[in-house]
């Protein structure tokens, strides 16, 4: 039987990673350098080259790469297939041009440094790719992924992921130039492409026809942890399938996300995945820092100190010039160039592969690997510097908001609850063309919404992560239409605390609930039966012969008196928010004194009336 020490052996590295992140990330954010650089430096410090608290960076990175996978899945959830098709010019035009020109420049420099013809091609391909995780993390921190330059940056990164399969197929062929044009080599390449297309087709079919029914079934069970397990199953399953056929795991996760972008469950899925994504992505950045051999860097400091800045600046200028040529403004082009400057995660796979097949010597594999790691340190610094310089420019030189691409970066209105009340609210908003995101956790309501052409997302509106995933951070109004008073109060509190920009319009169940909402400073509250009852009474008066204008005045007077009474009751200590939550009831009282005493119509009711009048 294993002793306690063996069971606890995994705890020291976990505690080390957590402590490093807790110390480094807030410090670097405070310095304005961003979380990515904090993770990288933390990895260097705790890695084998400095303090040696954690070894085996390669083993850590194998797990940490799941952070990149989950990041691409969440990005995919934000993209509809129609938007992806609209980006095809940037993906296949700008993306291809960036790889070709950057590879050509790096290969030329590698040739001048003495690399063989085939070795310089591998070096150029490896270093021309960019760090997807770093670029997307920086865009996420800036909240710029939905901007024009953010979408263009993502398009280039997506093409780079698509190019991994042909690059992986090319490297072994370069090792044997005699076989490069042989029928056997071509057949092997064709087989690899066929397997990749078959895997993509399988993911598309499963995502299109099976995932939504599966998530509906799981949501109906009410087990939230099972939904989380299913989300991880989908993401990691698609990633593993793509890896088996030679594509990148990130590519498989992104494809799964795109296929679920139209799903009713996308916001809940994003909320469930987000905690894993953040932790694993931070671990990935630390593993990159750990892989940097500080001793080797010291021994080759002069060479690396020349090559690393030159590579970062060169890649940045090429990408910026191409982006400008494809229509970006100069500020956006510079931002794109800086984000694409670091070498990509794939370089840590491609360069060792080049060494294994004899295209690169062991010494050059070490140089290129260290160079790639250093660019990951310098890239975020360059992006920060360029952004700080652009911030000094007059605001009038920035592109207008109308220039931003059409995308779903969060609706201007979020409606929580799609019951009888929420459905009417939603109809009014959509009739005026408002951009609405509707959230409900009732599967039957979601099915009903689909029949009427509404788009309702599955999710628990009382969860902060669900609200954030639905776009509450950029929403103008959050309409709380749930029929649960406690849930409505909780949502209002969360929105006020976490999303102060959004105004809160809340459905009140009854009078005590309305007073509790007023005590929470909601922007607007309305009792669900009050206005309908007023209209009902007004119609009754008119039917009794009262003039329509007189009936309206009476109704307005009742409404005015009721509002004044609500304000007075709100200031009453016994009716304060805390007491209401403990079940204090508001005693119904007439708004105007009755003109005659109550009279019972039977002996039993006369006794009840007399008893009520005798009480204080």
pLDDT in tens, 99-140: 999 999 998 988 888 888 888 888 888 888 888 778 877 887
Report the DSSP pairing between strands 413-416 and 436-440. parallel
In what side-by-side order are the strands of the sheet with 503-508? Answer: 456-458, 436-440, 413-416, 477-480, 503-508, 524-527
Per-residue pLDDT, 318: 93
Per-residue pLDDT, 222: 66
Q: How many CA atoms lie within 13 A of 601 on its CB side?
A: 0
pLDDT category at 247 given cuts 50, 70, 90 is low
Contact 472, 478 (CB under 8 A): yes
Higher pLDDT, 403 or 144: 144
Contact 446, 440 (CB under 8 A): yes
Per-residue pLDDT, 134: 80
Per-residue pLDDT, 183: 55
Closest CA to 270 of 77, 413, 408: 77
Per-residue pLDDT, 10: 62
Helix (H) or strand (E) holding 527: strand 524-527
Per-residue pLDDT, 572: 58
Closest CA to 51 of 6, 25, 13: 13
Which ranges constitute the DSSP H helices of 420-463?
420-431, 443-451
What is d(CA 263, CA 208) in angstroms, rounded to the nearest whole number? Answer: 10
Higher pLDDT, 82 or 21: 21
Task: Name, in order, each residue with C-beta under 8 angstroms of 215's C-beta and a sequence gap of 6 or more.
Answer: 227, 230, 263, 264, 265, 269, 458
Task: Name, in order, each residue with C-beta under 8 angstroms of 462's C-beta and a sequence gap of 6 or more.
Answer: 487, 490, 491, 494
Q: Please list the residues that pair with 440 across neighbouring strands.
A: 458
Average the pLDDT over 282-307 and give the result.
79
pLDDT category at 191 given cuts 50, 70, 90 is low
Per-residue pLDDT, 316: 92
Q: How many CA atoms lie within 13 A of 509 on its CB side?
A: 11
Contact 476, 414 (CB under 8 A): no
Per-residue pLDDT, 514: 79
Per-residue pLDDT, 62: 64
Q: Please list the residues that pair with 414 across neighbouring strands.
A: 437, 478
pLDDT category at 589 given cuts 50, 70, 90 is low
Helix (H, G, I), strand (E, B) or coil at 300: coil
Which ranges constitute the DSSP H helices of 471-596?
485-498, 511-519, 530-543, 548-571, 577-581
133-142, 289-298, 403-412, 487-496: which has the minimum mean pLDDT? 403-412
Closest CA to 281 of 141, 144, 85: 141
What is d(CA 375, CA 298) in angstroms, rounded to the nearest whole number? Answer: 16
Dihedral of alpha carbons 9, 10, 11, 16, sign: positive
pLDDT category at 575 given cuts 50, 70, 90 is very low
Task: Name, in order, each residue with C-beta under 8 angstroms of 319's C-beta and a sequence gap of 6 or more.
Answer: 98, 102, 156, 333, 336, 337, 340, 341
pLDDT category at 315 given cuts 50, 70, 90 is very high
Of 17-26, 130-139, 247-256, 313-322, which one has max mean pLDDT? Answer: 313-322
Task: Name, in order, each residue with C-beta under 8 angstroms of 377's C-beta and a sequence gap of 6 or more.
Answer: 37, 40, 41, 289
Per-residue pLDDT, 396: 47
Per-residue pLDDT, 399: 41
Residue-wise pLDDT tens digits, 414-449: 888 888 888 888 888 877 777 888 888 877 777 777
What's the pTM value of the predicted model, to 2 decimals? 0.59
Query: Is residue 174's pLDDT more than 90?
Result: no
pLDDT category at 82 given cuts 50, 70, 90 is low
Of 63-72, 210-219, 576-585, 591-600, which one has max mean pLDDT? Answer: 210-219
pLDDT category at 592 given cuts 50, 70, 90 is low
Higher pLDDT, 613 or 174: 174
Average the pLDDT over 598-612 and give the result.
54
Closest CA to 217 of 415, 385, 38, 443: 443
What is d(CA 588, CA 546) in angstroms, rounded to the nearest whole number? Answer: 27
What is d(CA 227, CA 404) in angstroms, rounded to the nearest whole number? Answer: 34
Query: Is residue 178's pLDDT more than 70?
Result: no
Which ranges constitute the DSSP H helices of 47-163?
57-77, 81-86, 88-89, 95-112, 117-128, 132-142, 148-162
Report the DSSP pairing between strands 503-508 and 524-527. parallel
Across 382-494, the runs of DSSP E, i.e. the strands, are 413-416, 436-440, 456-458, 477-480
pLDDT category at 246 given cuts 50, 70, 90 is low
Per-residue pLDDT, 304: 84
What is d(CA 510, CA 566) in angstroms, rounded to the nearest whole number? Answer: 12
Average the pLDDT over 487-506 and give the result.
85
What is d(CA 183, CA 92) in angstroms, rounded to the nearest whole number? Answer: 28
pLDDT category at 612 given cuts 50, 70, 90 is low
Closest CA to 47 of 281, 280, 285, 292: 292
Per-residue pLDDT, 599: 57
In the chain, what percentage of residues exceed pLDDT 70? Answer: 78
Q: Which two tokens stand for residue 265?
A: 């469950």
84-88, 130-134, 568-572, 606-610: which has the minimum mean pLDDT? 606-610
Per-residue pLDDT, 607: 55
582 phi and psi angles, rounded to 5 deg: -90, 10
Per-residue pLDDT, 600: 52
Q: Which two tokens stand for residue 450?
A: 């689909």
Query: Is residue 177's pLDDT more than 60?
Result: no
DSSP string, 181-237: TSHHHHHHHHHHHHHHHHHHHHHHHHHHHTHHHHHHHHHHHT-HHHHHHHHHHHHHH
Contact 598, 523 (CB under 8 A): no
């Amino acid at each position: 039987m294993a002793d306690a020490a063996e069971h606890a052996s995994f705890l020291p590295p976990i505690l080390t990673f957590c402590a490093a992140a807790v110390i480094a990330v807030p410090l670097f954010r405070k310095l304005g350098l961003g979380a990515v650089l904090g993770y990288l430096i933390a990895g260097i410090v705790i890695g084998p080259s400095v303090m040696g608290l954690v070894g085996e960076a390669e083993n850590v990175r194998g797990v940490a790469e799941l952070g990149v996978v989950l990041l691409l899945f969440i990005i995919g959830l934000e993209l509809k297939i129609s938007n992806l098709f609209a980006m095809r010019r940037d993906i296949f035009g700008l993306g291809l041009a960036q790889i070709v020109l950057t590879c050509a420049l790096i290969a030329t420099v590698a040739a001048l440094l003495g690399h063989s013809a085939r070795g310089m091609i591998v070096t150029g391909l490896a270093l021309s790719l960019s760090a997807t995780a770093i670029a997307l993390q920086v865009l996420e921190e800036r909240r710029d992924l939905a901007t024009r330059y953010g979408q263009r940056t993502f398009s280039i990164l997506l093409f780079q992921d698509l190019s991994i399969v042909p690059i992986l197929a090319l490297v072994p062929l370069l090792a044997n130039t005699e076989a490069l044009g042989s029928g056997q080599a071509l057949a092997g390449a064709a087989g690899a492409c066929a397997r990749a297309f078959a895997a993509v087709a399988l993911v598309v079919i499963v995502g299109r026809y099976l995932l939504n029914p599966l998530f509906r079934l799981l949501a109906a069970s009410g087990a939230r942890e099972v939904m989380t397990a299913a989300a991880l199953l989908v993401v990691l399953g698609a990633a593993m399938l793509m890896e088996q056929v030679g594509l990148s795991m990130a590519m498989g996760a992104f494809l799964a996300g795109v296929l679920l972008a139209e799903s009713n469950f996308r916001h809940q899925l994003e909320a469930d995945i987000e905690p894993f994504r953040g932790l694993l992505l931070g671990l990935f950045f630390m593993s990159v820092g750990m892989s940097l051999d500080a001793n080797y860097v010291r021994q080759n400091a002069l060479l690396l100190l020349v090559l690393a800045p030159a590579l970062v600046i060169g890649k940045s200028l090429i990408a910026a010039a191409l982006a400008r040529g494809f229509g970006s403004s100069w500020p956006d082009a510079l931002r794109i160039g800086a984000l694409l400057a670091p070498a990509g995660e794939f370089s840590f796979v491609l360069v060792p592969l080049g060494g294994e097949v004899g295209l690169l010597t062991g010494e050059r594999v070490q140089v290129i690997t260290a160079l790639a790691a250093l660019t990951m340190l310098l890239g975020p610094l360059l992006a920060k510097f360029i952004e700080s310089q652009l911030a000094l420019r007059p605001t009038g030189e920035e592109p207008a908001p109308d220039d931003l691409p059409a995308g779903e970066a969060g609706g201007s209105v979020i409606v929580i609850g799609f019951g009888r009340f929420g459905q009417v609210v939603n109809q009014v908003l959509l009739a005026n063309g408002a951009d609405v995101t509707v959230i409900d956790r009732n599967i039957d309501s979601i099915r009903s919404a689909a029949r009427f052409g509404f788009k309702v997302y599955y999710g628990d509106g009382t969860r902060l992560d669900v609200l954030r995933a639905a776009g509450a951070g950029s929403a103008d109004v959050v309409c709380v239409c749930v029929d649960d008073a406690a849930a409505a109060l909780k949502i209002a509190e969360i929105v006020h605390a976490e999303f102060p920009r959004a105004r809160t319009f809340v459905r009140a169940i009854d009078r005590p609930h309305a007073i509790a909402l007023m005590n929470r400073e909601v922007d607007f509250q309305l009792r669900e039966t009050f206005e309908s009852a007023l209209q009902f009474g007004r119609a009754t008066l008119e039917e009794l012969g009262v003039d329509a204008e007189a009936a309206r005045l009476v109704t307005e007077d009742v409404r005015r008196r009721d509002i004044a009474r609500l304000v007075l009751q709100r200031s009453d200590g016994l009716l304060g928010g805390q007491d209401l939550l403990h079940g204090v009831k508001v005693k119904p009282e007439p708004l105007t004194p009755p003109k005659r005493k109550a009279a019972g119509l039977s002996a039993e009711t006369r006794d009840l009336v007399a008893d009520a009048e005798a009480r204080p």
